[in-house]
């Protein structure tokens, strides 16, 4: 069965990521390291397994990840 986009997105939120994922507390504990690895071009997902899946499944952690990436990126740009 092929689902239309709107329904697929609803199902995605309902069913969540299928890969192993960490929880919100581990996500917060690892967030700074993960973001710096991402920005330095290192394979952050290999260093913090389960983080990417959690960011797909948790909108709040995903927002905070995006904010930290933007803030640190902006700071790096200002410093150069």
Partner 1 sequence: MSAASVPMLAGVPSTPQPADASESPAPPLDAESREWLRSLRAAGAERDAAVGRLHALLLRAAVFEVRRRKASLPHLRGDDLDDLANQAADDALVSVLARLDDFRGASRFTTWAYKFALLEAAVKLRKRSWQGREVPLEPDDWSTFASTAVDPAGSAQQSELLQLIEQAVAEVLTPHQRRVLVALALNGVPIDVLADRLNTSRGALYKTLHDARRKLRGHLADQGHPPESLTEEAR
Contact 47, 34 (CB under 8 A): yes
Contact 39, 75 (CB under 8 A): no
Closest to 18 measured CA to CA, from 68, 52, 43: 52
Residue 38 engages partner 1 in binding (rule: CB under 8 A): no
Residue 23 engages partner 1 in binding (rule: CB under 8 A): yes
Beta carbon of residue 68, minimum distance to partner 1 (angstroms, whole number) = 6
Residue 52 engages partner 1 in binding (rule: CB under 8 A): no
Gap between the Cα atoms of 49 and 28, Å rounded: 14
Residues of this chain that interact with partner 1 (CB under 8 A) are 1, 3-16, 18-26, 28, 30-33, 35-37, 42-43, 46-51, 56-60, 62-64, 67-68, 70-72, 74-75
């Amino acid at each position: 069965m092929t689902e239309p986009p709107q329904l697929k997105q609803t199902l995605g939120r309902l069913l969540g990521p299928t890969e192993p994922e960490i929880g919100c507390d581990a996500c917060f504990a690892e967030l700074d390291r993960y973001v710096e690895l991402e920005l330095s071009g290192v394979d952050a997902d290999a260093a913090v397994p389960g983080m990417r899946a959690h960011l797909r499944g948790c909108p709040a952690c995903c927002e905070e990840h995006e904010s930290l990436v933007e803030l640190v990126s902006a700071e790096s740009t200002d410093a150069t």
